[in-house]
Amino acid sequence: MKEHRLLLFFLLLSAVVLCISPFLGMTATSLSGVFGRHADALESVVFWRIRIPRVLTAYLAGGGLALSGMAFQALFRNPLATPFTLGVSGGAAFGAALYMRLGLAIALPGIGGSTIAAFSGAVLVILLAYWLTRLQGGFATHTLLLAGVALSFFLSSMILALQYSASLHDSFRLVRWLMGGLGMVGYDAVLSLFPLVATGAVVLFLLRPELDLLLLGDDLAMSRGMELQRTRLLLFFSVSLMVGGIVSVCGPIGFVGMMVPHMCRLLAGTGHRTLLPASFLLGGAFLTLCDTGARILFAPAEIPVGVITALLGGPFFLFLLFSRNTRRMLR
């Protein structure tokens, strides 16, 4: 009953955030100006063509990042694990940055070239980290985590090299994109992001029993009949799909995948039947609120939403690092 009330609260919070956020920004909009009999043309354009797709993109990206962090935290049994720590976001960012730097124009029906490049980069990083782990003889989650961290640092240096070799215009474009932002998204971003996040969310929804078993340890999970290799591959695929799409559209936005699942776990417990929808709902509302703050806190200037999440995520990371429960899980 408590879980149902919590999900209802998160659902209502999401509805309120989605309804209010499009009206907030540098250009004032009102109900009468958008929906009234004598609606203002400028307000209508700002509301329908700029604010609505931006809010929807932020909500999908926040929900997808929260689900990705939740999946990795269960897989590694580590509350600090996120797509960034394993290098998935770094691989996606490098793939998209390389696509932008080379000026390629490759696309599939309904899927942009940068999305393909970001997804390919994320998959390649996971395969490389997995291969490096297997070289040690077996599959140790801490080895995979360390391999991912090392690859993440390496890819960050490669992105800096791409930035340094680019022209002034392309270099500035890369810097802005790497900060993570939603300033230039439209309905095409929503349409490209929705199937990727929805597919990943459905896969994770079907894997809820396996996610619960992973928290007990690999040996106990296998003794309960779980196919460990298949579950890992499905988790890696779903996270790569979501993170690749999100990074290609919004750039790398950090800390959402770490903060939101942990907050939901404190409120809803560790059972993924409740944790999964709670993470998606709160993650979407959280990033939408952060993006709204990025629009209005320093108006008329606007800052990238990745700056806001980093400002909030840094202190939260320290809180996790020094909290008693986290230290117990890291032992």
Rounded CA-CA distance 288/60 in Å is: 9
The yes or no reply on domain 45-330 and CATH 1.10.3470.10 is yes
Phi, psi of 312 (to 5 degrees): -80, -35
Most trustworthy range by pLDDT among 41-55, 271-285, 307-321:
271-285
Phi, psi of 235 (to 5 degrees): -65, -45
Going by C-alpha positions, the residue among 287, 280, 250 that lies closest to residue 264 is 280
Residue 280 has a pLDDT of 96
Distances (CA, A) of 56 to 53, 70, 165: 5, 21, 35
Rounded CA-CA distance 121/205 in Å is: 25
**Confidence check: pLDDT of 205 > 50:** yes
Amino acid at 138: G
Least confident of 161-165, 172-176, 278-282, 288-292: 172-176
Residue 330 has a pLDDT of 44
Beta bridge partners of 111: 108
Least confident of 84-98, 261-275, 288-302: 84-98
- Helix, strand, or coil here: 111? strand
Contacts of 31 (CB under 8 A, 6+ apart): 23
Could you read off the pLDDT of 115-141 as tens digits, one per residue?
788 888 888 888 888 787 777 766 667
Between 8 and 185, the more confident residue is 8
**Domain range list for the chain:** 45-330
Rounded CA-CA distance 197/199 in Å is: 5
The tokens for 293 are 């703050």
